Amino acid sequence: MSLLEIENLSLSIGTVPVLNGIDLSVRQGEIMALVGESGSGKSMTALTVMQLLPHAARTSGRVLFDGNDLATASEEHMCTLRGDDIGMVFQEPMTALNPLKTIGEQVAEGIRWHTRSSRAEAEDRTRRILDRVGLPEAKFPLSRYPHELSGGQRQRVVIAIACALKPRLLIADEPTTALDVVLQAQVLDLLRDLVAENRMGLLLISHDLAVVADMADRITILRNGRVMEDGETAQVLSAQTHPYTRQLAQASAHVPEIRAAAAARNTRKPEDPDSPLLSVRNLTRDYPGRRLSLFRRGTPTRAVDDVSFSIAPGRSVALVGRSGCGKSTLARMVLALDRPTAGEIRFRGETLTGRREAELKPARRDMQVVFQDPYGSFNPRQKVGKLVTEPLHLLEKAPTRAERREMAAAALAEVGLGPDALDKYPHEFSGGQRQRLSIARAIITRPQLVVADEPVSALDVSIRAQILDLFAELNARLGIAYLFITHDLTVARAITDEVMVMKEGRIVERGRTHEVLDNPQSDAAQELVSAAPDLKRALAGRLREQG
Amino acid sequence: MRALANRPLVAGCLITGLVALMALASFLWTPYDVTKLVVADRTQAPSFTHWFGTDHFGRDIASMIMVGARNSIAVALVAVGIGMGIGVPLGLFAAARGGLLDEALMRLNDLVFAFPALLSAIMITAIFGPGAINAIIAIGIFNVPVFARVARAGALSVWPREFILAARAAGKGQTLITVEHILPNIANQLLVQGTIQFALGILAEAGLSYLGLGAQPPMPSWGRMLFDAQTRMTIAPWMALFPGMAIVITVLGLNLLGDGIADLLDPKSRRRR
Amino acid sequence: MTAYLAKRLAIAAITLALASVVVFSVLEIVPGDPARVMLGMNASEAQVEQLRQQMGLDGSPVQRYLHWAGNLLSLDFGRSYTYSVPVIDLIAERLAVSLPLALIALALSTAIAIPVGLYAASRRGKAGDAISMGAAQLGVAVPNFWFALLLVYLFAVWLRWLPAGGFPGWSAGVWPALKALMLPALALALPQAAILARVTRSALVDVLSEDYIRTARAKGMPWRKVLWGHALRNALIPVVTIMGLQFAFLLAGTIIIENVFYLPGLGRLIFQAITQRDLIVVESVVMLLVATVIAVNLIVDLSYALVDPRLRSRA
């Protein structure tokens, strides 16, 4: 019999249906992946098992854990199960821990509550489990507070809380989405080992097929609250019989057609061109150290360390690296939004460093930006017509109202939106459409360079594929050069000619995208490539295992 | 439609509207002349001729409450105007510039906060003598750091957002960004704080007039009426009851309005009912 | 921690110094001669001259300020003109009424507000929440001196349980003195309690929607333990902030309430000093109240550091 058996589960919040007749099971010692795009209802499924749903939620159907129906269980009974027989790991490690309690207290709390053990016993167990998840007491004493740990370390604490009492079922809701690829690989390894050691069942919730292909024994694909397909992972993902499965798989390894064709012809070496569009020389950025007392500061942190590179007109260059490696700081300096401590940035042969805002206008006109968050990159109180035309402020001669509207409509047409969008507010658009608006704003002044900071990492895979197509098309048609900042190597592979690998403020490797990613030389690049989840590689591995 | 389902907003609008209407109507008509003393009618209990009774000079309490509303509203409103007019630009400026200037402005804020409104009113009155104008200045000064803090905190939460970076990449300077992007995004918070300070202003004005530091007789004011009622609690409790209720209802209306606006404009703060 | 402490202390000291300059300047901008203002038009030149000397009105403003501030620091507030006693004695005597009054009111308001806020937040959206928050909404709108009048009418005039006003002095025994402070403290406390209850509820509601609350529940901790062990401590920071601000309001509130109940406290002293134009008493009491507000704000800042480890580890 299965450890967890969900039968015909439906759920609505208020009047909004979320789940519609879900069936799902997890056996002991098995990893079951629940995959879907945002809004598919995967997190709500997890919260139903935990019985931690919002107040307005109404469910029907059965959730059998060990034969007992949790949907009708009392709160007292659930309290004895949660944290003891069922553990849960959440997506956002930065907010999942109580900032006012030490990590020791937070892990020990559940142990003491469930086992009624003494403080000393509980602390002993806490020490052991923290050591097991990779936080040995010598380096991470129990008296540490969450803010003294990094995101990856905090996620280990959350895993320790969930696994402290060796639960039979572990639910992990996007446990690595907020972490960079290297940390992701480490945390996934840890989860896999813990599952094997304790013969736990793991319900792994993820949007990432590559992660799932590598981890899960079986897989359930969810869309709009319905199960599309389920079965053995290798079988489901290699056969791709269901059209939605196929769509997901293709989107997650999508390469725009224009680029696929161009990549075959592209043999240019990324030598520094004679007349680069952008050239960066010995760029350094220090942030002042933490204030230790009224008069003393700690040593400054060097976010960007002696970086030099150049970008030729029309080239698409990726900047990849782990989180905190300095790539966003570098991008901001290129955009003249942050002042370098030392070094020089030249754009079209003119230096940008040390210029006053008024003198930067012509450069800004030809250099625009697209951000990651399609929700945060617009003023929610402005209509599209106004926000898309914001960069027109940079023109020498202010255009008339009619001209502005015309230019805005043209820019919207470039990104595949109609002129009816002009009078709407940003919240009336979906995430993908908003990213199109963001791109329309960036290209309205016909810039020669667009700096894009993680422009697709907040999007679902199918939307991401469309936006990547759009980027590729604008590059081919308008000759816009890109500096593409991303942590996702598949994105770099999909639309860039060259790649630069950054580590601890320095650029450690640079070359043609395919060459670097297929045959990385530096440690940093090798680490990134081997940690990056890859659907094809994972599937091949699985099929090999099964013979 | 969402506005109509918002009960605090509807109730707040209705109450505030009625009080404002009452104050305006008092310019055209009151049941009795509040400047005329009719000694024969003094301390009459509520009746059909005098709904809320009369005071120790025989003045009609209902009429005095109507006229007193003018004074309360005017003082509180101008004080909010002073607070917003000075505080909001200061807060926005501090948030935009940061650094030493920000620090200096915040210390100045601390300084004003160290003087409770009533205390500064007392100091001002001690020197310049009592009067409605001094009450306005005292309450207004106290409002300045309140609005400066709200504006600064709101602006600081908007500045790091990506659309501000996009605006900077579009070459817009601090002033333009503040006007086009920061201000519209903190307008809600300012509006809500405005209604709160309005309500607090009504309370503070009543307190000052009660102490004899606000509007001076013969101009009726709610606080003064309560002062007059105090020594006559045993013989004429209605003299204390109705002006007090006028204050409570007005302040309640404004607070409901503030809650309603906050609920309407910020879905996150909306308490699910 | 020490850096945080040092910074807060420095800020408090600077604010206090600036406040003294403000209070001093206010005396300076009195139209005409302060001594003349205090004595009124009927005083003789000799009397005015004597007071001028006593107030140290000779010399440059800077000299006078330093002299005055120096005296303040050594707790020499000068002599009251109307009472002909050292101001410090006057203040000490009045403080024996005002300080217990403010403290009882603060304790009362906290004791009412925190449980009500907790109750409302944990019954969110249910009838108990609506009723207690409706009452709080009403309480916020009630002016304390009007509430005081109603209390007097109810308990003193009608039921005759408690005195309507006056203060027998602590020498008459603790119980009669406390009885005299009961109604004033209640009148001061209830409107503040309403505000504090609303703040407590909304701070708790915010905290209860945080991710770490879900983590605690996923650990199997029962609701009660989550509320007391995790939510309350995190909600304390905004609550303590408001309590600090309220102390300033309570102090100012005593000025009115002491007048309602004829209590011989600081508020009544300053009020009478104004009508008698005893500016020395006015500036001394104002300085004392301002210093108290600044001190309370400092205590609030320090208590943040006690509650929040993030503050302890940074400057």
Per-residue model confidence as pLDDT tens digits over A472-497: 999 988 899 999 999 888 889 888 99
Q: In this predicted structure, what is the pLDDT of residue B269?
A: 45
d(CA A165, CA A183): 24
d(CA A436, CA B89): 35
The helix (H) or strand (E) run that includes residue C200 is: helix C174-208
CB contact under 8 A, B180 and A368: no
- In B, residues 139-158, which contact A (CB 8 Å cutoff)? none
CB contact under 8 A, C214 and A52: yes
CB contact under 8 A, C216 and A109: yes
CB contact under 8 A, A379 and B168: no
d(CA B159, CA B151): 12
Whether the per-residue pLDDT at B210 is higher than 50: the answer is yes
- The shortest C-alpha distance from C9 to chain A (Å) reads 12
Q: Which of C144, C107, C106, C93 is nearest to C268 (CA)?
A: C93
Among A371, A381, A393, the residue with its CB nearest the CB of B165 is A371
Q: Which of C97, C33, C106, C58 is nearest to C270 (CA)?
A: C97
- The shortest C-alpha distance from B14 to chain A (Å) reads 28
Q: In this predicted structure, what is the pLDDT of residue B2?
A: 59
Q: Give the mean pLDDT of A314-340.
A: 92
Interface ipTM > 0.90: no
Q: Which residue of A has its CA nearest to C222?
A: A79
CB contact under 8 A, A357 and B169: no
Confidence band of B273 (pLDDT split at 50, 70, 90): very low
Q: 């006693």: which residue's tokens?
A: C85
Q: In this predicted structure, what is the pLDDT of residue B31?
A: 83
CB contact under 8 A, A368 and B167: no
Q: Which of A366, A345, A211 is nearest to A280 (CA)?
A: A345
Q: Which residue of C has its CA nearest to B258?
A: C137
Q: Give the mean pLDDT of C103-110.
A: 92
Strands of A322-360, DSSP E: 342-347, 350-351
Percent of chain A with pLDDT over 70: 96
C214 touches A: beta carbon within 8 Å = yes
d(CA C92, CA C77): 12
- In A, residues 262-281, which contact B (CB 8 Å cutoff)? none
Whether the per-residue pLDDT at A26 is higher than 50: the answer is yes
Q: In this predicted structure, what is the pLDDT of residue A268?
A: 54
Q: In this predicted structure, what is the pLDDT of residue C276?
A: 79
Q: In this predicted structure, what is the pLDDT of residue C76?
A: 82
Question: Taking a C-beta distance cutoff of 8 angstroms, is the pair C260, C187 a contact?
Answer: yes
Residue-wise DSSP of B77-115: HHHHHHHHHHHHHHHHHHHHH-HHHHHHHHHHHHHHHTS
Q: Which residue of A has its CA nearest to B173?
A: A357
Q: In this predicted structure, what is the pLDDT of residue C170?
A: 85
Q: Would you call C186 exposed, middle or buried from its count of C-beta atoms within 10 A (0-12, 13-18, 19+)? A: buried
Contacts (Cβ under 8 Å, ≥6 apart) of A472: A256, A258, A259, A494, A495
Its pTM stands at 0.86
Say whether the peptide bond before residue B160 is cis (omega within 30 degrees of 0). Answer: no
CB contact under 8 A, C215 and A98: yes
Among A332, A357, A368, the residue with its CB nearest the CB of B173 is A357
In this structure, are strands A31-35 and A218-223 parallel, antiparallel, or unpaired?
A: parallel
Q: Give the mean pLDDT of A222-232.
A: 93
Average predicted confidence (pLDDT) for chain A: 90
Q: In this predicted structure, what is the pLDDT of residue C1?
A: 65
Whether the per-residue pLDDT at B115 is higher than 90: the answer is no
Among B122, B207, B229, the residue with its CB nearest the CB of C143 is B207
B232 touches A: beta carbon within 8 Å = no
Q: In this predicted structure, what is the pLDDT of residue C64?
A: 82
Contacts (Cβ under 8 Å, ≥6 apart) of C65: C21, C24
Whether the per-residue pLDDT at A170 is higher than 80: the answer is yes
Q: 């249906």: which residue's tokens?
A: A17
What sign does the dihedral B137-B138-B143-B149 (CA atoms) show? positive
Whether the per-residue pLDDT at B143 is higher than 80: the answer is yes
C135 touches B: beta carbon within 8 Å = no
Q: Give the mean pLDDT of A40-56.
A: 92
Average predicted confidence (pLDDT) for chain B: 86
Residues of chain B with C-beta less than 8 angstroms from the C-beta of C270: 122
Q: Which residue of A has its CA nearest to B265?
A: A381
Q: Torsion angle of alpha carbons B158, B160, B161, B162, nearest 10°?
A: 150
Whether the per-residue pLDDT at C60 is higher than 80: the answer is no
Percent of chain C with pLDDT over 70: 94
Q: Which of A187-191, B12-16, C271-275 has the lowest mean pLDDT?
A: C271-275
Q: Which residue of A has its CA nearest to C308?
A: A100
DSSP conformational letter for A445: T
Whether the per-residue pLDDT at A335 is higher than 70: the answer is yes
CB contact under 8 A, B162 and A377: yes
Residues of chain A with C-beta less than 8 angstroms from the C-beta of B181: 379
Q: In this predicted structure, what is the pLDDT of residue B103?
A: 87
Amino acid at A496: T
Whether the per-residue pLDDT at C84 is higher than 50: the answer is yes
Among B163, B173, B272, the residue with its CB nearest the CB of A379 is B163
CB contact under 8 A, C271 and B122: yes
**CA distances to B13, B64, B221, B244, B245 from B55, in Å:** 31, 10, 13, 14, 16
Confidence band of A273 (pLDDT split at 50, 70, 90): low
- The shortest C-alpha distance from A288 to chain B (Å) reads 14
Whether the per-residue pLDDT at C37 is higher than 80: the answer is no
- In C, residues 118-157, which contact A (CB 8 Å cutoff)? 125
Q: Select the more confidently predicted residue: A40 or A376.
A: A40
Q: In this predicted structure, what is the pLDDT of residue A547?
A: 66
CB contact under 8 A, C234 and A83: no
Q: Give the mean pLDDT of A366-382.
A: 87
CB contact under 8 A, B162 and A393: no
What sign does the dihedral A100-A102-A103-A109 (CA atoms) show? negative
Residues of chain C with C-beta less than 8 angstroms from the C-beta of B123: 23, 26, 282, 286
Among B116, B122, B247, the residue with its CB nearest the CB of C248 is B116
Interface test with C, best of B141, B271, B272, B273 (most C CBs within 10 A): B271
Subunits next to A (3 or more Cβ pairs <8 Å) are B, C
CB contact under 8 A, A335 and B169: yes
Q: In this predicted structure, what is the pLDDT of residue A354?
A: 84
Q: In this predicted structure, what is the pLDDT of residue C47?
A: 77
Helices (H), A350-422: 357-365, 384-388, 401-414
Q: Which of A419, B245, A405 is nearest to C138 (CA)?
A: B245
CB contact under 8 A, A109 and C229: yes
CB contact under 8 A, B161 and A371: no
- In B, residues 92-121, which contact C (CB 8 Å cutoff)? 107, 110-111, 113-119
Q: Which of A520-534, B70-84, B171-185, C152-166 has the lowest mean pLDDT?
A: C152-166
Whether the per-residue pLDDT at B272 is higher than 60: the answer is no
Q: Which residue of B has its CA nearest to C280?
A: B126
Question: Taking a C-beta distance cutoff of 8 angstroms, is the pair A289, A257 a contact?
Answer: no
pLDDT digits (tens, 9 = 90+) for A139-160: 999 999 999 999 999 999 999 9
CB contact under 8 A, C219 and A96: no
Among C137, C146, C290, the residue with its CB nearest the CB of B114 is C290
Q: Which of B120, B207, B209, B126 is nearest to C276 (CA)?
A: B126
